[in-house]
Structure 1
Amino acid sequence: MSHRAAAKTKVHVRAPGKINVFLKVGRLQDDGYHDVASAYQAVSLFEDVRAYQADDFSVSVTGSVDLDGVPTDETNIAVQAAKLLARETGHQGGVHLEIEKHVPAAGGMGGGSADAAAALLACDHLWGTALPRERMLELAAELGADVPFALTGGTAIGTGRGDKLSPALAQGHSHWVLVLPDSGLSTPEVYHELDRHRQRNGSTLLPVTDRPEVDPKVLQALRAGDPHMLAESMHNDLQAAALQLEPALIDILELGEANGALTGIVSGSGPTIAFLAADVDSALDLQVALSAARLDVVRVSGPVHGARVLAE
């Protein structure tokens, strides 16, 4: 039997969630979108997607996080990714996707984007469509601004809608303690709240540019692998809006910083909170303190690699 005839029946891909260690949001544009400048770090909290040969497209979802609001029909972004690849390559069959979620849904950590990236890669291997890497990144960007980063992983700077990526040099490992939300926040809702916040407080805020940029201090801190320097330069323009919508997050930020975190930040559009620790021991102590406060906590590190095929 030739190698080409032995089609795969199942492919398993793992893709990481992310933390935005820096996020600047530009002015609201006429098309309703904002340009952003972000420093992303992929962290060791993963989505697992298993793809099986099928005649049509279907998805099932399990996992360790709240799955309310995660669609199990064709509106699921992983199914959209599979259909996009099929259209692009002329593939005639379908796929059944099993998603095992560990990144909180609507948590500001790009869990859906990781599912989409994993589905693209899994289907490409399952179907043997061998899409060039550049084209796969273009398809990823069509699916969502954070999807290309879930494919590449590591540490990167995102500009434009967040999908124009350039790798950033990062030394060593960052240690994070995440407080996972018990409910999600809608990304569009957080952006709307930011726009309202800027209208209300326009005169007291720094002027908003069309083309935001990542603060060079963040790049220096990542290059140096210095958590203290990184803590001082971390920033998220969406944080004020997320705190306005979820005021309970303010107490969590204060609790983490009182228990040894170098700093805490709302990740992306929230409501996940990421605390940066100086080292693994501080991260362990912080994890214990926050767990004792009955918060849902997970300790992760970064950077980690992007979506990749695992041997079963």
Structure 2
Amino acid sequence: MTVTVRAPAKINLHLGVGAPRPDGFHPLVTAYHAVGLCDDVTVADADTWSVHTKLPDWIDPGLLPADGENIVDRAAELLAGFHGVPRRGLVSVVKAIPVAGGLAGGSADAAAALVALDRLWDLHTSDTDLLRLAAQLGSDVPFSLVGGTALGTGRGELVTPLTDRGTWWWVVVPSPEGLSTPRVYRHFDELVPDAPERPPSADEVVAALASGDPYLLAAALHNDLELAAVDLRPDLGRLLERGEEVGALRGLVSGSGPTCVFLCEGADHAREVAGALTGPEHPVVLTTMGPVAGAHLVEYA
């Protein structure tokens, strides 16, 4: 038997960050948005366990975790332990989401693995339990299961769907060099030592999503981590300025970076902006749209 599950990248349309909690995590208020850059995870019956990853030529394989340390390994171990079954299977991860790019590619792979292995092992895990397991793997993994557009609270793992009346078109510019999420959070703490205990609300983005107006959404986009990411990587600030100069409604660092995303009026506008940004400094520029579904079955044989 083989099972293939597809899971999307995410963009944080709003990312409000509070002061670190006693457990070390930062409280977040975020508006998650799933877009059509997706990884596929295929699992097949086997007597042993292995994970193989296939990358497009523009993703540096050096950014991948070491063998056995992939989040897919941890997802499988957690699901198998929850049900008391052996961890067995041959796993192939085909990536299109940038690695260490602030788009939750690892979280997408974990969510896809949970869904695929649940089907392969015939476990029938409830949605509630899948979300609980996902939250143990990472703050973004529950949203990768849910998809669409949603409000994330806590450390991001508590997810509530949002009303979204738009079809939003994006230009996505990945970076060949990853940026560590913990490093960005540490730098945020250095730059903003007086961060509020409660993060800024996402009310403006929520209202813009309900309106379906790209100009309102552009004005409302917000990322508290952008300051830290741009301070660590000034080239990101220059890229954001360039994207808006060539016509994007708004540029934004995605999550903790270093991927930058640009909101456009529609598909044709996105292609125009992508063409203007493509060049020797940024040879890979992608267009995509959202919202799209969370982790979902695409092949079962």
TM-score (norm 1): 0.92
* 2:296 counterpart residue number: 308
Taking the TM superposition and a 5 Å limit, the aligned residue runs for 1:180-259 are 180-199=174-193, 202=194, 208-259=195-246
Question: Which residue pairs with 1:41 in the alignment?
Answer: 33
Q: Which residue of 2 aligns with 1:167?
A: 161
Does 2:285 align with 1:297?
A: yes
1:68 is paired with a residue of what secondary structure? helix
Which of the pair has more CA radius of gyration? 1
After TM superposition, the runs of 4+ consecutive aligned structure 1 residues lying more than 4 A away are none
1:1-312 matches, within 5 Å, as 9-64=1-56, 65-199=59-193, 202=194, 208-292=195-279, 294-295=281-282, 296-311=284-299
Q: Percent identity?
A: 45
Q: How much does 1:163 deviate?
A: 0.4
Contact 1:59 1:72 in 2 (8 A): no
Moved more, 58-67 or 272-281: 58-67
Residues matched between the structures, number:
297
**Contact (CA 8 Å) 1:15, 1:306: kept in 2 or not?**
yes
**Structure 2 residue identity aligned to 1:220:** A
Secondary structure of 1:27 counterpart: coil
What's the offset of the Cα at 1:90? 1.4
SS of aligned partner of 2:100: coil
Deviation at 1:172, TM superposition (A): 2.5
Structure 2 distance, partners of 1:185, 1:85, is 29
TM-superposed CA distance for 1:92, in Å, is: 2.5
Alpha carbons 2:30, 2:202 under 8 Å: kept:
no
Q: Could you list the runs of 5+ residues in structure 1 that have no partner in the other structure? A: 1-8, 203-207
- CA offset digits 1:232-282 (Å, max 9, x no partner): 111100001000111111111111000110000000000000100012221
Distance in 2 between the 1:113 and 1:12 partners? 16
Give yes or no for contact 2:100–2:179 (8 Å, CA) kept in 1: yes
Partners of 1:229 and 1:221 in 2: CA distance: 5
Q: 1:22 to 1:60 in 2, by over 3 A?
A: same
Alignment RMSD: 1.2
2-side partners of 1:77 and 1:216: how far apart?
Answer: 32
Shift of 1:96: 1.8
Q: Distance in 2 between matches of 1:254 and 1:35?
A: 29
Kindly provide the amino acid, as one letter, of the partner of residue 274 in structure 1.
V
Structure 2 distance, partners of 1:127, 1:274, is: 38
- What 5-or-longer segments of structure 2 have no aligned partner? none
